[in-house]
Structure 1
Amino acid sequence: MYAKNWMTETGVALLVLAGRCRALVLKGMERLGRRLPPLRPATERTRGDVPGWVLITLMSAILVAGLLAIAGPALERLFNQAMDQVVP
């Protein structure tokens, strides 16, 4: 009952928190008179390791999906039991 909206609400809350943290860091740097370094235009030498990042992202997503598939029902039961104890 509660678990369906719980993950969506948690994700939105984390995104809002990340945005506020970024804003605070930028404001603090501005007060200190510092700025972020300008972005360099991408050249062939500064391209980066795109296949490596894609592999890391895919592996992380697969790991999270696997853990959620294994532990999802148990976590949902645990969350619902906790909410039943809090909400009359």
Structure 2
Amino acid sequence: MTTLRHWWKHTAGWVADLADDDAGDVPGWVLVTLMTAGLVVVIWAVAGPALSELFQQAIERVSGL
């Protein structure tokens, strides 16, 4: 019985430590996601017209217009 009790305390402590470690990580992932989305918007705004023109030129070359 002592071994089972020791195992249960050890497992419960490990699960509690695991839950504590992940709890502080969520705001970091949210920040990384928002920053990535912001970078995509900025890059798209700057490079969008140039990429659109490049695509248009490629289509014109392929279609022969």
- The TM-score by the shorter chain falls in which range? 0.5 to 0.7
TM, length-normalised to structure 1: 0.47
Query: What fraction of aligned residue pairs are identical, expressed as a percent?
Result: 51
Aligned residues: 47
Deviations 1:16-42 (A, max 9, x none): xxxxxxxxxxxxxxxxxxxxxxxxx8x
Which residue matches 1:44? Answer: 19
What stretches of structure 1 move > 2 A for 4+ residues in a row? 43-48
Larger RCO (CA within 8 A; separation ≥ 6): 1
Whole-angstrom CA distance in 2 between matches of 1:65 and 1:45: 34
Q: Which stretches in structure 1 are left out of the alignment for 5+ residues?
A: 1-40
Q: Which stretches in structure 2 are left out of the alignment for 5+ residues?
A: 1-14
The answer to whether 1:68 aligns with 2:44 is yes
The structure with the largest alpha-carbon Rg is 2
TM, length-normalised to structure 2: 0.62
Q: CA RMSD in A?
A: 1.9
Deviation of residue 81 (structure 1)? 0.5
